[in-house]
Amino acid sequence: MTKTNKRRRVASVLLALVMLLSLMPSQELHTHAFWEDYDDGTDCIYCDHYHWGENMCDGCGFCTVDCNSDCFAEFHCNDCGECLFNTPNWCDQCYKCADCMEDTHCSTCGKCYIGEDDQLCGECHKGPCCSITICDSCGFCDDCANDDSDPMHCSLCNSCFGSVDECVDDDDTGVIHCIDCHTACEQCEECLLNQESCEDCGLCFHDSDPCEDGCDQRCKDCCRDAVSAMGCDHDDWCFSDSDFEDHLKTEHSGAGHTHIASATWEADGTQHWHPCRYCDDKKLNAANHEFDVKGVCKVCGYVYEGDSLPEDYKCPLCGAGAEYFKQES
């Protein structure tokens, strides 16, 4: 092959390559957004990590979770990821924003109870840090537990319905109370809280009509007994008449009265008794308390709260005297 032919063949191959390249679709080489983002970024002032443009938080200007998770956790809610610069307040112990810290922080002072949130009221989320007491049974504070809309405690003794049953007559009486505060009428067996009852005999006006001559809180039988106890044998007088005392002086020479025990109990740290229905000068049926193991009298319900037991106290189970007991610290 001559040199001339060889040059022609090389020129033909080059021409063919040029023609092939001209047939291929043209491709425009764009400047990649990667570099644009990099150019728009900046150094994080907290961790010195370089931000790509899209990985910089709009609120605080620090790293996003995709950029540097450790830096992100320092300035964003650990629950919802909200930037702490966009929330009115946050906890510097658990790094929760205002919305996420509601159920785990005292609603009054904001103290953190993470891991101890059972110490907060289950309704208002106040804590013992703000001088409130949380019920061990229902988990509510006193205010929430006694809320009229949905009470959780007996309105009479404050016992929690989580530990003692609620009286089924609540709706009828209008008084939210427990079964321990329920007292059934001996006549009709209904809760006495739902019945008007005689202040002397304690029975409701079920079969015995109330005295309508002035004794709003006595039945007719007890009113007659009261008049008779004062030394008057006249059936037309009511014990509560405004001039009954003058009648006693003029017609019965100021006769005294017979002491009759009321249905209620009065007590001190040692004894219980029935007061006289008509005066405060007489203690009727007085007797020493009979305390159970919890310090509650089994007769009158008196709760002993003294620093030491009475000298004559005996354990109802073993008979041991007061000297064998010690006060818990």
Predicted local distance difference test score (pLDDT) of residue 318:
56
Mean pLDDT across 238-247: 81
Residue 7 located in a structural domain: no
Residues 73, 76, 80, 82, Cα dihedral to 10° = -160
Q: What pTM was computed for the model?
A: 0.39
**Together in a domain, 268 and 327:** yes
Mean pLDDT across 314-322: 61
Domain finish residue from 59, 85, 100: 100
Q: Judge contact between 204 and 188, C-beta under 8 A.
A: yes
**Together in a domain, 46 and 89:** yes
Predicted local distance difference test score (pLDDT) of residue 18:
60
Domain finish residue from 215, 231, 251: 251
Distance CA 150, CA 84 (A): 37
Domain finish residue from 48, 71, 100: 100
Q: Residue 15's pLDDT band (boundaries 50, 70, 90)?
A: low
Structural domain harbouring 247: 192-251
Helical segments of the chain, H only: 3-23, 33-40, 69-75, 142-145, 170-173, 220-229, 244-251
pLDDT for 52-89, tens place per residue? 767 778 788 788 888 888 888 888 888 888 888 887 77
Question: Could you tell me which residues are beta bridge partners of residue 297?
Answer: 291
pLDDT for 164-185, tens place per residue? 888 876 655 567 888 888 777 6
Mean pLDDT across 79-107: 81
Predicted local distance difference test score (pLDDT) of residue 159:
85
Residue 243 located in a structural domain: yes
**Together in a domain, 275 and 234:** no
Predicted local distance difference test score (pLDDT) of residue 316:
56
* CA-angle at 150, arms to 148 and 151, nearest 5°: 70
Burial track 241-277 (b if 16+ CB lie within 10 A, e otherwise):
eeebeeebeeeeeeeebebbbbeebebeebbbbbbbb
Q: How many domains does the chain have?
A: 3
**Together in a domain, 247 and 272:** no
Residue 13 located in a structural domain: no
pLDDT for 125-144, tens place per residue? 888 888 788 888 888 888 88
Predicted local distance difference test score (pLDDT) of residue 256:
66
Q: Residue 4's pLDDT band (boundaries 50, 70, 90)?
A: low
CB atoms within 10 A of CB 314: 15
